[in-house]
A and B are shown apart, each in its own frame.
Chain A
């Protein structure tokens, strides 16, 4: 089974973010980067499927040159080789543009299965996998919690709302967007890191991609819309003040 996993490099979780002065993006100077969390689970799922059914795992990443670090880590964890669509200006593209680039690379590989994360930690659109599937003309399923391979098809479990799940059987090839927590992530081992050095990363320059129709207008820290007011005094007088507020200011009682 040949599996392509699309991975994205994003700022390290809990980084202290600062916004660029032009308010188009965040300052990247002092930031550390890592694999997008749901993508890490997608990679792990691919590695586990390979361990069960044999085959090959190819990591696919569109990103600037610094993304090599994340690609190497995917190789260190066990991906067999990688394709890096390398460009420092990918931020000018929208989801459709990125998915177009990914689709180009995937087509050449003819994989049985394509996994992506459910969404990215930085932009959070949750669309790339879906658009990619459309461009490839293959079926897709989102928010995947479990994958079973049965001959030429797969059985997947989707997370719905309110604790409900949906079980679907799908033909291959297909695109699945993987939910975080679906499996237990492995650590990169030192031996893996060492071996990753000799694995292939094919660097490709991006083909022409459609110009962005969705543009990031402004990045800003959400304004605090809630205000807290504390009523001093004993319970009785505080309650009286509260009632007054609710009646005359907020007008809901």
Chain B
């Protein structure tokens, strides 16, 4: 279902740093087709009627209720969105999958079930399975008749996934692999029927296996007692001489890491819409509470500091949403004539996703941190009641925290994001070095006199975005000059650089979206104000991060010179952010929800 046409000239991964994008070249939620919107509404309706009434049961009494609900959602197609029709799926685009994710994210526990099943539980087979494996397992997964799970982590191997100890040995007759070991933290673990399990053949060759729950020797352990998403199932999986037929090796022997990393890329991106769905829910809950709660003879929604919170929640949600769907659109731009019938269909899809691994890491980090911010302020708006189990925001607060940990911790993603950019540059896939050198030359020439440059809407923000990228490139260049190939070991520095680049990408995504709305003739005031506030706020954190990074790489005159350049790039004329936030909050309060 290639329902959207993307005018983007398929940007290279990471190229946002070097190129200037035009508003019409980015995909935004405003570009959703009628089908996309219908899918969103259908999913939201299902969630409201079938999931929401059972949240307490799922969380506190019987989590397995979620399995029945998920199967029912399978009747609507919600568990088979991108699976080909011939395997019982809906054969829709990635955007549709993201929209479904966003609309089941009103509860962290249920989202855990659904996202693990449809994501890490299903995608390895969809994208790496043979025709036989797909025909055998996908129809059961598409309908959620079978629940899927993904077993990579082990007690001693989380971020360091390649350190797994689970072993696989070929049986003497060559018909089976015998698996032994223990997996840890497996989402859906206690109720899954099908596991993708990573093990090392002969303790060496990292390989994925498709393992049915019914194979003798597969044993889920007890449910973990978690801080949040308590209604999701998380268990260890014990593997005791499990005989797995050789036909159930998934992908190539010794190349299981390809599966693991590719599935993570998509999972990271999808965490964007999931987190943003959660944000929207909490904003609505907090706005409602703020309008009801009275203090000092007023509703607390009348207080400036409460408005400031609601506005900031909306602004960051807007930015996270803009980034998420922008990246989804970049991927879709490579999949315009995609067909599952093509022999290399899965490869095409994977390559498109992998191209934007850096951007997907940005989405993962940014969106998970936005959600944490939003739930935190959501609790604060509720005062003491936010600390009480009877209020939905309390659960949202606990449920949010896991997002910074799984799908690669935010630390790992911060390292990867810049690390992958550097690798691309080394491979010659991204002219990063040239861009840095060009910038350095530019810096040597005297600064342009800024005598009444262009004015008008978006001009100041466009300049900010441009300068944010320059700060990123400059810092990266200086860091690389200092550390060269050992830069990998400078974690704090890499993370600072990631924060600068991520914020530049965030600013640009929000800005281009506002411009695109304005260009369409629709009312863009809200988006414009949100982008305007964010661009300046982000520039402040970019400047702070760059200062720390530069001071680590240079000293004396060199440092002073760099700091002077930084100051010039980071400079902007402040706007009345207090007033703009009040406007933004007024719209949240008026509509009772996040709107753009």
A contact residues vs B (CB 8 Å cutoff): 16, 18, 29-30, 34, 68-69, 72-73, 76, 187-191, 193-194, 196-197
Contacts and interface: CB of A to CB of B under 8 A. Distances in A.
Given A29-B523, A187-B46, A193 B592 contact: no
A193 B42 contact: yes
Nearest to B522: A29
Given A69-B34, A190-B81, A194-B35, A30 B42 contact: no
Interface in B69-103: 75-78, 81, 90-92, 96
Closest 10 CB pairs of A and B: A190-B77, A188-B42, A190-B90, A193-B38, A189-B76, A16-B592, A189-B77, A187-B76, A191-B77, A30-B591
A68 B38 CA distance: 11
6 contacts: A34-B41, A188-B41, A190-B39, A194-B1, A194-B92, A197-B35
Given A16-B591, A16-B592, A197-B35, A189 B42 contact: yes
Contacts of B39: 190, 193
A77 to B, nearest CB: 10
Given A187-B45, A189-B76, A189-B77, A69 B38 contact: yes
Nearest to B590: A16
A30 B76 contact: no
B37 interface: yes
Interface of B: 1, 34-35, 37-39, 41-42, 45-46, 75-78, 81, 90-92, 96, 523, 590-592, 595
A188 B591 CA distance: 26
Contacts of B96: 190
Contacts of B41: 34, 73, 188
A235 B181 CA distance: 73
B35 A30 contact: no
Given A18-B590, A30-B595, A194-B1, A189 B35 contact: no
A123 B76 CA distance: 32
Nearest to B37: A69
A189 B41 CA distance: 11
A167 B1 CA distance: 48
Nearest to A12: B41
Contact of A190 (B34, B76, B592): B76
Given A29-B523, A187-B45, A188-B42, A193 B35 contact: yes
Contacts of A69: 34, 37-38
Main secondary structure of the interface of B (DSSP, over half): helix
Give the interface centre of A76, A187, A188 by most chain B CB atoms within 10 Å. Answer: A187
A196 B1 CA distance: 13
A18 B595 CA distance: 15
Contacts of A196: 35, 38
A194 B34 CA distance: 10
A203 to B, nearest CB: 15
Given A69-B34, A193-B35, A197-B35, 18 more contacts: A16-B591, A30-B595, A69-B38, A73-B41, A187-B42, A187-B46, A187-B76, A188-B42, A188-B76, A189-B75, A190-B76, A190-B81, A190-B90, A190-B92, A191-B77, A191-B90, A194-B1, A194-B90
Contacts of A190: 39, 42, 76-78, 81, 90, 92, 96
Contacts of A18: 590
A148 B590 CA distance: 46
B592 A73 contact: no
Contacts of B45: 187-188
A188 B78 CA distance: 11
Nearest to B36: A193
A52 to B, nearest CB: 20
Nearest to B587: A30
Contacts of A76: 38, 42
Contacts of B1: 194
B338 to A, nearest CB: 15
A72 B42 contact: no
Nearest to A77: B42
A34 B96 CA distance: 20
**Residue of B1, B38, B77, B90 ringed by the most chain A CB atoms within 10 A:** B38
A76 B76 CA distance: 11
B586 to A, nearest CB: 12
A190 B81 CA distance: 8
B352 to A, nearest CB: 22
Contacts of A193: 35, 38-39, 42
Contacts of A188: 38, 41-42, 45, 76
B594 to A, nearest CB: 11
Contacts of B590: 16, 18
A188 B103 CA distance: 15
Contacts of A197: 35
A63 B590 CA distance: 27
A188 B39 CA distance: 8
A72 B76 contact: no
A153 to B, nearest CB: 35
Contacts of A34: 41
Contacts of A72: 34, 38
Contacts of B77: 189-191
A73 B1 CA distance: 18
Nearest to A34: B41
Nearest to B78: A190
A211 to B, nearest CB: 32
A73 B41 CA distance: 10
A72 B34 CA distance: 9
Nearest to B80: A190
Contacts of B81: 190
A61 B77 CA distance: 27
Nearest to A73: B38
Nearest to A32: B41
A76 B38 CA distance: 9
Contacts of B34: 68-69, 72
A76 B78 CA distance: 15
A196 B92 CA distance: 14
A23 B277 CA distance: 35
Nearest to B96: A190
B235 to A, nearest CB: 30
Nearest to A197: B35
A193 B96 CA distance: 11
Nearest to A76: B38
Nearest to B42: A188
Nearest to B81: A190
B531 to A, nearest CB: 19
A100 B90 CA distance: 41
B2 to A, nearest CB: 12
Contacts of B35: 193-194, 196-197
A188 B34 CA distance: 14
Contacts of B595: 30
A18 B90 CA distance: 39
A220 to B, nearest CB: 18
A34 B39 CA distance: 14
Nearest to B523: A29
Contacts of B78: 190
